[in-house]
Amino acid sequence: MPSHKRLHSRSEAKLDQPAIVKRPKRTLKPKEKSLVERINALSVAQFYDQFFPPSVAGTVGSPTNLHITLSTWKEMSSPFREACVDLLKLTSRDHYHSSEKGWSRAKKLKEMGHPAMKYLLLRPVPAAPPTVKEGKLAGPEQTEGFLSFMITEEDRSEVIYCYELHLQPSLQGKGVGRRMMEVMEMIGSRVGVEKAMLTVFRSNDRAVEAYERWGYRVDDFSPEPRKLRDGTVKEPSYVILSKGREGFAREERAHEQNDPGGLSKSADENVTDNKTASAQHG
């Protein structure tokens, strides 16, 4: 039997429905960048202006006639990059070969080219200001030494992490390596990190001893020995060391010592720092 109920039109049906109130869209505030993100977003020139210690402007000791400059991998010429890797290989290849990681020039180049990596370079004092050609610094294609570091985060702490420190054999034993570590610590203090960290091969006894003299201790993040199924205890090939911010070198140190370059007179060591901890960066 047909229904006599009147069918509503679509327009009438809409009138029967409650009105929908449109609320204004919420404007989400942009997430504040972390210290590490803000620092790594700076250009090398901005980083230099804000964090490079003025006391490092002079030469690294009159006998060496070298000075410390700040750079990035991108700013270096291709021959200079290769010279850095050649120096690393000269001082560290045996330690790499005896480790679980082994030596791979391609992998090392990739790690060294990380965009957040910065370099303290030992270069001869130029007779004229360095020139820039095609966006790269022009100058000698041989490095006397370098220290690479990164502002990063480890175990929820902002740190300055030393990846590499290598010197030509002729510069070892002159306090240059310690001075470069002091400069890195001064930068870390200016940035506001909680500690400085590095990784060193256990087989590099001289480096381990040098870092311990400079106040570095085994970090809680350092890997523990592993006990294998046959009962053998396997020691990791590397150890992670760190130093708290309160132990960083002070910028006045160069002026307190009777030393034009702020060099320490204690014996320097040929150190090899390769970050192989679980938190990888490239």
Q: What is the pLDDT of residues 152-168, one digit of tens each?
A: 999 889 999 999 999 99
pLDDT at 148 over 70: yes
Q: Are 119 and 146 in contact (CB under 8 A)?
A: yes
**C-alpha closest to that of 154 among 195, 115, 189, 123:** 195
pLDDT at 267: 35
Q: pTM surpassing 0.85?
A: no
Q: Are 184 and 149 in contact (CB under 8 A)?
A: yes
Q: Are 222 and 215 in contact (CB under 8 A)?
A: no
Q: Residue 75: give its domain's CATH number.
A: 3.40.630.30
For residue 210, being part of any structural domain is answered with: yes
For residue 263, being part of any structural domain is answered with: no
For residue 222, being part of any structural domain is answered with: yes
Q: Calculate what percentage of the chain has a pLDDT beyond 70.
A: 70
Phi, psi of 38 (to 5 degrees): -65, -45
Q: What is the pLDDT of residues 166-198, one digit of tens each?
A: 999 988 888 899 999 999 999 999 999 999 999
For residue 119, being part of any structural domain is answered with: yes
In angstroms, the CA 49 to CA 132 distance is 18
In angstroms, the CA 79 to CA 77 distance is 6
Token code pair at residue 245: 């911010």
Mean per-residue pLDDT, 248-264:
54
Considering 73-77, 96-100, 250-254, the range whose residues carry the highest mean pLDDT is 73-77
In angstroms, the CA 141 to CA 175 distance is 24
For residue 28, being part of any structural domain is answered with: no
Number of domains in the chain: 1
For residue 203, being part of any structural domain is answered with: yes
pLDDT at 274: 41
For residue 262, being part of any structural domain is answered with: no
Order of strands, sheet of 238-244, starting from the edge strand that comes earlier in the sequence: 66-72, 118-124, 145-154, 157-167, 195-201, 238-244, 217-218
For residue 17, being part of any structural domain is answered with: no
Helix residue spans in 171-243 (DSSP H): 176-191, 205-213
pLDDT at 155: 86
pLDDT at 247: 96
pLDDT at 127 over 70: no
DSSP-derived pairing of the beta strands 226-227 and 217-218:
unpaired
Q: What is the pLDDT of residues 17-61, one digit of tens each?
A: 666 666 766 666 667 889 999 999 999 999 999 999 987 766 675
pLDDT at 52: 94
Range of the domain at 119: 34-256
